[in-house]
Each structure stands twice: as structure tokens, then as C-alpha cells.
Chain A
Amino acid sequence: MATSTDLENRPSTYDNDPTKTIVETRNLGKVYRDFWGRKKVQALKSLDLEVRRGEIFGLLGPNGSGKSTTIKLMLGLLFPTQGRVFVFGKEATDVSKNERIGYLPEESYLYKFLNAEETLDFYGRLFDMPADVRRERIEKLIKMVKLEHARRRQLKEYSKGMTRRIGLAQALINEPEFLVLDEPTTGLDPLGTRDMKDLILRLRDEGKTILMCSHQLADVQDVCDRVAILHQGELKELGRVDSLLKIQDLTEIHASGLSEDTKRQIRDIIEKSGGKVDRMDNPTTTMEDLFLEIVKESEQRPGRRGGRGGN
């Protein structure tokens, strides 16, 4: 019988087919310990998921559910206490994978005493990019995140939204294949949020893979192809956004041109499949409803929900 370690040790699926998987977590868990090695928090419990090439993957969950922990494990900022993570088929602690990754942290952890250009130049150098390439990318990115007017101002003078945008530019300096965004829309106004979402979709269309986590459920609903919902470090739900939001045992009808009489008899008419039906479909819930439902349910009985979203 294959033990769990055997499963963890099999080669990553990326090696089998690099066109499919970018990230793969296997039985991934993280326990935060204090200095003396005593357990403080179990932040993540045996997480299994894959991020596939070309998709926008969303990580959802209430505060403290382990989203950032998962991301940090993928980036090698934390080491797993259980299981493994592969990114591009390599251990997450492998530095060379970073060549192909862009990361926007939850808050912009940038050097406040640098200005926008210096910031991008610095990170460009860390990718060992020659001067002319750096110059060209910096121009492009500053234009893209609309910071032309503030390019020579120190970051400590930036507003929240501006900081967020320079953070994003920084994450894109190496034209990464895989982009990790920790709450990309927090601090942005509705316009900025719209821009950010458009940008994320555009990047996806350019062929990049994106992993994002967010509290803005509407945003997730708008852009993500697939989502995972975490609660208290456990995976509660994983699947395609469209199928997750479908309510299977309900039918929604949009009809028009019905008189009050017929409306009264509508049940009969439908049963006899008469009348003119404009649209007949499963109704969808909003992300928010689904989210709240999962959290409520999970608090009542822990463990993975019976899955309903197809992969």
C-alpha cells in the first residue's frame, strides 16, 4: 500500500506535463511554532491542490484561514511542517524558480526611501537584467500602472492605491509566467479595482497563470476561473467558479408577455410545458452567499464539504 510519504515523494506532475500544472501542493501543512518548538497555531492542514497553467486561481477564506500561509509556502518564505509544494516542478525553496514568478505581498513591503524608478531598477537588477532591458521595462510598467506623474517621488509619500500599484509593477518586472497576488484589490478605489481586474484578465489572456487571494468576493467572482475556499486551515471547497455558483436543484425562469391570469396559472402551464420561456437555467448564487454558507456550515461540522463543483 502506498503510504502518504510515498505519495508525497512521487515526481511532480509538472515533470510529466509542464504545459498543465504550475503549482502542486501535496498534503501540505504548516504549524507555527515558537522559539522553543512549541506548537502555536496549526495554520494549514493537509492541503492538496493544483494551479494549472493559464488559469486564474482564487484562494478564499475568512481572516486567519491560512491563505497567506499557503502563498508563503509556495514562495519558499515558509517551510512546510508537513507535505510538499512544487512550483514549476521544483521544491518551493529552490531559488531558481523565482526567475519565473512575480509576487505582490499583502502589503507593499518595499523600501520607502526609494522612488518608483529606483524601486523597479533595484528589483530589475535582482533578476540580473541588463540596463537597457531594465530601462525599457520600467518605462512600460510605470505607464501601465499609471504612476508617470509620481515616478520620482519616494514611496513613503505614496497613497495606499499608489503603493499597491507600484507593488504590482514590481511583481511584473521580470515578465513572470506565474503571478502570485495577495489581496491585489485592497486599498484600491472602485476605478482602481476595475483597472486591476482588467489587468489580471489581460495578463491571463497573455498566457500567464495567476494565483490570487482576496476578500473582495465580487472580484473573485469576476475574474477567477477556479477557487479554493479555506477555513481554519482546511480546504472546504475547490472547483470552477461557474459550477460552484450553480444551484443544481432549482430552476429559474425569465418569462415575459404573461397576463395576470396566466401568471396565476403559471405552474400548470409550465408543467405542461406551454408558454414562451425566454430563458431557463439554474439560478446562480453570488460568491458572497456561497462563502457565508460554507463558513457557517463548516463551523457546525468540520471537515471537507461534499464537493459539488466539478474540477
Chain B
Amino acid sequence: MRLNPDHFWTYSEWLFQQGALFNGVLLAMILSVLGFLFGYIVSVFKHGPSEGFLKVSQIIGQLFTVDLPKMSARRIYAVAKLAVKESIRKKVLVLVGIFVVGMMFAGWYLDPNAEYPARLYISFVLTATTYLVLLMALFISCFSIPADIKSRTIYTITTKPVRPLELFLGRVFGFTAIGTFVLAIMGLLSYIFVVRGLDHDHEVVSLDPTGRSGETSFDTRHRHTFTLNAEGRGTTNEVKGHRHIVTKVGDKAVVGGPIDDLTARIPIYARGLSFTGRDGEKNEGYNVGYMSEYQKYIEGDSLSRAVWRFEGVDKTLFKDVILYDLTISAFRTYKGDIVTPVGGLIHFRSTDGRVKSEDEPFKVKEFQVDRRSVRTKLKGFIEDKPADLDFFNDIAADGSFEVVIRCQDRGQYLGMAAADIYLRPADLQFWWNFVKGYISIWLQMFIVICFGTMFSTFLSGPVAVIATVAALILGFFGFFVDDLVKNTSKGGGPIESLIRLPTQMGSQIELELGNEKLQSAIFMLDRGLVTAVSRLKDAVPNFSQLDTSNFVAYGYNIFGGLLGRHLTIAFCYFVLTALVSYFFLKTREMAA
């Protein structure tokens, strides 16, 4: 899993700097206009142009004058309770049983040779839960109102003083309640499954005569080696994504349970990565022209450097050592000695470059996280004079500092991206991160329920299912729309293209209409249309963006800001679907 810069925006950054609020308001305006137009057109067909306008305005007016103010919590509760009973009657709890059986079989099928069993186990439970719960949410929400209409029980509901929004809210809350219950059980079972599934221990099979290092037994298809310090404490090496603590008791060493496989790192990322070229000039990093554009490269044995800039790092998060993880890859222009990894040097320096630490060599661990550390009391240079430094007093006085990496081997390249180095303050509890992963699933479930219920207010059950799924697929492909928007520079927007097509004007030639005003009007309209379309794609949720299961599986803390964003997004969909449902329920003839 690669973390992207957008993963660690804070909530307010996302809302204000990244334009989420602006885009949201824009989308709301576009949708309101479209919604009004749609309502008006439908109404004109039924009532004629002037009466139609009156009807639409009335419905909007009533939302604020009566339908919102006269809502009653008791009615919503009654509808919600009924929705819960209905779901239980539909035997949704059987799902929990299916889940348990599924986990039992999964225990046999999950690959025991996996490189990272924790990732496999966590991904499995989270994915299985997501699919089951979303499916459940889809079906209970899409079939409820249509079933009421079909069985005509809706007659006895809408002839009571029940308001359209109460019908929607009650249903959504009821389904969410039952979904929450199912999710909670699944979450608990999953947690036990993961922890128990990964738990194992080893015996010490050989301890060298000094009693300082040794090897463990071969259990669950792997073994570890370990070294102990003078006090007889130490850890094993990392195999399959975990280590064990080893302690000496008497003249024997005892191996504890696995650690580090279930964790929630709180990475602190750099704010920027910059490069210098082989002659010390600023550049964008070298492109070795292979695989991805994700990483950029520096050249070995030259002035080429990669510099990460950290800002506002809170020193209270660290005691006397700063842990950091490094993921660097190497690109070899010659094979050389393939077993000797490519080497580099790393040092830390203040943002003005006056203070820097000593260079520390490292070897590239391909495809593995290199867990490193630097002591807060360290040796270095102040204006090139050797000095004893304190990290947070001298190098990062205001919490800002830079990390500099260069490659030692001539002709070889080191590749890195902004997220390839991060500081690791003390990890958070895994279980809490696991819960947050489930909150993400909960949010997805909630959105599915909102959309399912919305579609069921005007479509039959099966069609509502299809519509909801279609909306999710559309959301998933939303990024294609972004692509489309970016590419409109060539040949112009939709209207310009419409002109170009029949006139067979190539996309390279400037549009010449001979009328400047017309031309700029077309250009403006195109811009507006394209913006509208690109915003409209946000009207359907993109679940691939809401999915945080990889965070849990790869042991990264799900940042509060990220969860906050998802929460906000879910709330917006809730409001959107509530409004749409209001209009459909309000205008629908229940007995027709």
C-alpha cells in the first residue's frame, strides 16, 4: 500500500485548502438547479407551465414550513423500530452465521506461506465483512418501501400524520441500527479470528555459548534468529511481518508472542520532496523510465540528492530516539555484485542548512520497510564544525527539518517518493485502528442504505438494487471523468466539439468562427459544462476512496482527518438522498 499526500491532509486542510467545501457548495448548487429543473419539467407535464411552477414551489416551501418543523422523533423511532423488526423477520441475522462459517473455512484456505500473514488475515476479514454488510444493506433498503407499497401497508402509514422525511429517516435509521448490530458482531468475531489466527510461539532451539544470540524453532512455517543485550533482553529478526520479544530467564531464553504484526503506525510524513541533479542543480529527480512515475531517482556518486522537508513535527511525541521507516528502491544500470545491495547515505539538517547530522550509511532493502532510528542526542556539524547536537534543539528547533539522501554507488540510482520516509512516533493500539476500519465499513453501509432507500422511494425493489449498484460503479469510475476533464484542452469542450465534428475541423487548429463574442461565449459555456460534469461525478460516492481496509492491513493508523472527511462525505450523501426522497415521497401517489 502506498500512502498518498492526500491521505494525510488534516480535516481543515481538506475542507478549505483543497477546496472540498467549495466543491461541495458548487455541487449542491448544481444539483439544486438540476433538481428544480427536473421537478419543474415533470410538473409541467402534469399541471401545465404556471400551475407546475406553483406546485414545485409549494413542495419546496412546505419542506421548510411544515415538513421539517413538524417532524417527530417518536414517529421516526416507530418507523425505525418497524424497519428493524422487518429486517430481523427477513432473517438478516443469518448473515452472521454465514460469516462465521466463512471464517471457519477461510482458516484453511488463507495461504500459510504468505509473506505477511497479518495483512492477509486482516484484508480477508475486512473484505468479507464489507461485502456481506453492503449486500445486506443493499437488499434490506431497496426492498422495504416497495414491499410496503405492494402489500399496501403503506396505506395505513401515509393516512397517519407521517411526514415524507420521517418515512425516509425512520427507515434509514432502522436499517443502520440493524446493520450496526451485525457489523459489531462481525467486528468482534473478526478481531478474535485475526488475533488468534496470528498468535503462535517458538521455542529456542539454539543459543550460542555467549548467550547473546540464537535461533528459534521452525513453527507455522518460519523461524527467527535473535540477539540479546547485556540485560538478556532482545527481539528476533522480522520474519513474515512480525518479531518476538526474547528474554533470558536463568540460562535459557524464552520467546514471547508475536509483536509488530498487529499495529497502527502513526506515520509523520514530509511536506515535500525535492531533488538536485548530478551537478547539484535543482531538478525533478531522474526518470529511469521504467514501471511507475511514482518514484523519482537520484544518481550515485554525484551531487544528486533527495531532500525531504518535514514541518511542524511535535517533539513531545518522541523521547530519546526518533524511529523512522524508509522504503527506497534501487535501479541498477549494471548488474555488479547482485548480492551486495546498493548503498546510500542519510543525514538530517536544519532548514537553513547550518546544522546537520553525520552521514549514516544504509543499504537498500528492496520491497521491504527499513526500520531505522536516530537518537535525539547525536553527533554532527554546526557550520561544518563538529559538534554534539540535540535533534529538537539544534536541527529541528521549530519542528521543521530536512532529510537528505544520496546514493554512494557510481552508476546506480536510488528511487524514492514523498511518502517513502516517515517518522514513527509510538504506535497506536491495533484494536482501535481495527475499530476505525470498521467505522469506515459502517460509513459505506450507511451510504448504501441512504441510496437504496432513496431509489426505493420511486423504483421497484429490483430496479432500486440495480440503480444503487450502478451508482456505486459510476462512483468507482469517477476518476475517469477527472481524466476527461483534464483532457478537454485538446479540441475544446462539448459544444466546441459539436462545432468541430460537422465542420470536420481537426483538433489541432484553433477554432475560428469569425465572431469573437460567439467564440468566447462558447468557450465559457464549455468551461461551465465541463466543471458541472466534473462536479456531478461527486454526486455518487466513490467507495474505493472510502475504503480504509488497507490502512488496517498494512498497519497504518487511519488518520482522524481521513475519517472526518469520510464522515462528512457520508453526511452529505445522507442529506442529498433525504432531499431526493422527500420530493419523491411527497409527490408519489401511494395507491396508484
Cα distance, A107 to B153, chains bound together (Å): 10
Mark interface residues in B153-166 (1 if CB within 8 Å of A CB, else 0). Answer: 11111111111000
Instruction: From A75, A76, A128, give the contact of B72 (CB < 8 A).
Output: A128
Find chain A residues with CB under 8 A from B75 CB.
Answer: 125-126, 128
The smallest C-beta distance from B343 to any residue of chain A, in angstroms, reads 71
Distance, CA A200 to CA B296, complexed state (A) = 86
B532 within 8 A of A: no
Contact B161 A128 (CB under 8 A): yes
For B86, the chain A residues whose CB sits under 8 A away are 111, 113
The answer to whether A95 touches B163 (Cβ under 8 A) is yes
Measured in the bound complex, the distance between the Cα atoms of B9 and A162 in whole Å is: 63
Complex CA–CA separation, A78 to B592 (angstroms): 7
CA distance A174 to B159 in the complex (A): 12
Question: B-side binding surface: helix, strand, loop or mixed?
Answer: helix
Q: Given the complex of chains A and B, what is the CA–CA distance between A38 and B153 in angstroms?
A: 27
Partner of A78, one of B67, B81, B589: B589
A125 and B592 contact, CB distance less than 8 A: no
From B85, B162, B590, A126 is in contact (CB under 8 Å) with: B162
Judging by beta carbons under 8 Å apart, are B45 and A37 in contact? yes
Given contacts A75-B159, A95-B162, contact A122 B151 (CB under 8 A): no
* Chain B residues positioned under 8 Å from A105 (CB to CB): 152, 155-156
Which residues of chain A come closer than 8 Å to B153, judged between CB atoms?
109-111
List the A residue with the shortest CB-CB distance to B151: A109
Interchain CB contact under 8 A, A109 and B66: no
Q: Do A125 and B74 have beta carbons less than 8 Å apart?
A: yes
Say yes or no: A103 contacts B77, CB within 8 Å.
no
The answer to the question of B591 belonging to the interface, with a C-beta cut-off of 8 Å to chain A, is yes
Minimal beta-carbon separation of A301 from chain B (angstroms): 32
Asked if A232 is at the interface of the complex by the 8 Å CB criterion, the answer is no
Complex contact A77–B85 (CB within 8 A): no
B78 at interface (Cβ–Cβ under 8 A)?
A: yes
| Interface pair A109/B155, CB less than 8 Å apart | yes
How far is the CB of B203 from the nearest CB of chain A, in Å? 58
Please tell me if B382 contacts chain A, counting CB pairs below 8 Å: no
Interface residues of B in 48-72 (CB under 8 A from A): 66-67, 70, 72
Residues of B within 8 A of A174 (CB): 160
Q: Which residues of B contact A78 (CB under 8 A)?
A: 589, 591-592
Tell me, yes or no, whether A203 is within 8 Å of chain B by CB: no
Q: Are B74 and A128 neighbours in the complex by a CB distance under 8 Å? A: yes
Contacts A125-B78, A126-B75, A126-B78; A77 near B89 (Cβ below 8 A): no
In the complex, chain A residues whose CB is within 8 Å of the CB of B66? 95-96
Q: Would you call A77 and B156 a contact (CB within 8 A)?
A: no
Let me know if B592 and A98 touch, CB within 8 A: no
Shortest C-beta distance, A212 to chain B (Å), equals 15
- Which residue on chain B has the smallest CB distance to residue A119? B156
A69 nearest CB neighbor, chain B only:
B591
Tally of B interface residues using CB under 8 Å: 32
Interfacial chain B residues near A170, Cβ < 8 Å: 156
Contact: B589 with A79, CB < 8 Å?
A: yes
A72 and B591 in contact, given A111-B82, A114-B85, A128-B72 (Cβ under 8 angstroms): yes
Which A residue's beta carbon lies closest to that of B82? A122
Interface residues on chain A, size class:
20 to 34
Q: How many whole Å from A120's CB to the nearest CB in chain B?
A: 12
Q: Verify B160–A77 contact, CB threshold 8 A.
A: no
User: A77 to B591, Cβ gap below 8 A?
Assistant: yes
Pick from A99, A110, A111: contact of B161, CB under 8 Å:
A99
- Whether A98 contacts B160 by the Cβ 8 Å rule is yes
Give A167's nearest chain B residue, CB to CB: B156
How many angstroms between the C-alpha atoms of A72 and B154 in the bound complex?
A: 12
Interface flag for A47 (CB, 8 Å): no
Q: Is A101 engaged at the interface, CB distance under 8 Å to the other chain? A: yes
Mark B78-103 against chain A: 1 for CB-CB distance below 8 A, else 0: 11011001100100000000000000
Contact B161 A96 (CB under 8 A): yes
B160 adjacent to A123 (CB under 8 Å): yes
Contact (A110, B589) CB under 8 Å given A95-B161, A95-B162, A126-B162: no
Q: What CA separation (Å) do A174 and B86 show in the bound complex?
A: 24
Contacting pair B159 A77 (CB below 8 A): yes
Q: Does A158 contact B (CB under 8 A)?
A: no
- Min C-beta distance of B581 to chain A, whole Å: 15
Q: Which of A100-148 contact B (CB under 8 A)?
A: 101, 103, 105, 107, 109-111, 113-114, 122-123, 125-129
B156 touches A113 (CB 8 A): no
Complex contact A76–B158 (CB within 8 A): yes
Determine whether A32 belongs to the interface, using a CB cutoff of 8 Å to chain B.
yes
Please give, as numbers and ranges, the residues of chain A lying within 8 Å of B152 by CB-CB distance.
105, 107, 109
Residues of chain B lying within 8 A (CB to CB) of residue A99: 161
Q: Are A98 and B78 in contact (CB under 8 A)?
A: no
With a cutoff of 8 Å between Cβ atoms, the chain A residues found around residue B151 in the complex are 109
Contact A113 B89 (CB under 8 A): yes
- Closest beta carbon of chain A to B557's beta carbon, Å: 43
Q: Does B159 lie within 8 Å of A101, measured CB to CB?
A: yes
A175 to B81, CA, bound (A): 24
What are the interface flags for A44-77 relative to B under an 8 Å C-beta threshold, 1 for contact and 0 otherwise? 0000000000000000000000000000100111
- The contact string, 1 if C-beta is below 8 Å from chain B, for chain A 226-249, is 000000000000000000000000
Contact of A98 among B67, B85, B161 (CB under 8 A): B161
Chain A residues with CB below 8 A from B159, complex form: 75-77, 98, 101, 103
Q: How far is the CB of A80 from chain B (nearest CB, A)?
A: 10
A163 to B284, CA, bound (A): 78
Q: How far is it, in angstroms, between the C-alpha of A123 and the C-alpha of B156 when the chains are bound? A: 9
B156 & A32 in contact (Cβ 8 Å cutoff): no
| Contact mask for chain B residues 114-151; partner A; CB cutoff 8 A; 1 contact, 0 none | 00000000000000000000000000000000000001
Are A77 and B589 in contact, with the CB atoms below 8 A?
yes
A125 / chain B contacts, CB cutoff of 8 Å:
74-75, 77-78
Distance to closest chain A CB from B82 (angstroms): 6
A228 to B85, CA, bound (A): 42
Contacts of A122 in B (CB 8 A): 78, 81-82
- A219 CB → nearest B CB, Å: 23
Contact between B78 and A77 (Cβ–Cβ < 8 Å)?
no
Interface centre among B45, B78, B152, B156, by most A CB within 10 Å? B156
Residue pair B155, A127 in contact (C-beta under 8 Å): no
Q: Are B592 and A110 in contact (CB under 8 A)?
A: no
* Residues of A156-182 contacting chain B, CB below 8 A: 170, 174
Of chain B, the residue at the smallest CB distance from A96 is B161
Using A77-B590, A125-B78, A128-B72 as known contacts, say yes or no to A109 and B156 having CB atoms under 8 A apart: yes
CA distance A286 to B151 in the complex (A): 37
Q: Which of B66, B72, B85, B591 has its CB near the most chain A CB atoms (within 10 A)?
A: B591
CA–CA, A114 and B155, complex, Å: 17
Measured in the bound complex, the distance between the Cα atoms of B67 and A99 in whole Å is 15
Bound state CA distance, A170 and B156, in angstroms? 9
B591 — nearest CB in chain A belongs to which residue?
A: A77
Greatest chain A CB density within 10 A among B72, B89, B589 is at: B589
- Complex CA–CA separation, A95 to B158 (angstroms): 8
- Looking across the interface, which residue of chain B has its beta carbon closest to that of A100? B161
Q: Which of B568-585 contact A (CB under 8 A)?
A: none
Q: With a CB–CB cut-off of 8 A, which chain A residues contact B591?
A: 72, 77-78
Q: Check B592 against A127 for contact (C-beta < 8 Å).
A: no
> Shortest Cβ distance from B443 into chain A, in angstroms?
29
| Distance between Cα atoms of A129 and B74 in the complex (Å) | 8
Given contacts A113-B85, A125-B78, contact A32 B160 (CB under 8 A): no
Some 6 contacts from A to B, beta carbons below 8 A apart, are A77-B155, A103-B155, A103-B156, A109-B153, A110-B156, A125-B74
Given contacts A123-B156, A126-B79, A128-B72, 5 further A-B contacts (CB under 8 A): A105-B156, A109-B153, A109-B154, A122-B81, A122-B82
**10 closest A-B pairs (Cβ-Cβ)?**
A125-B78, A77-B591, A126-B160, A109-B152, A98-B161, A103-B159, A128-B72, A72-B591, A109-B153, A113-B89
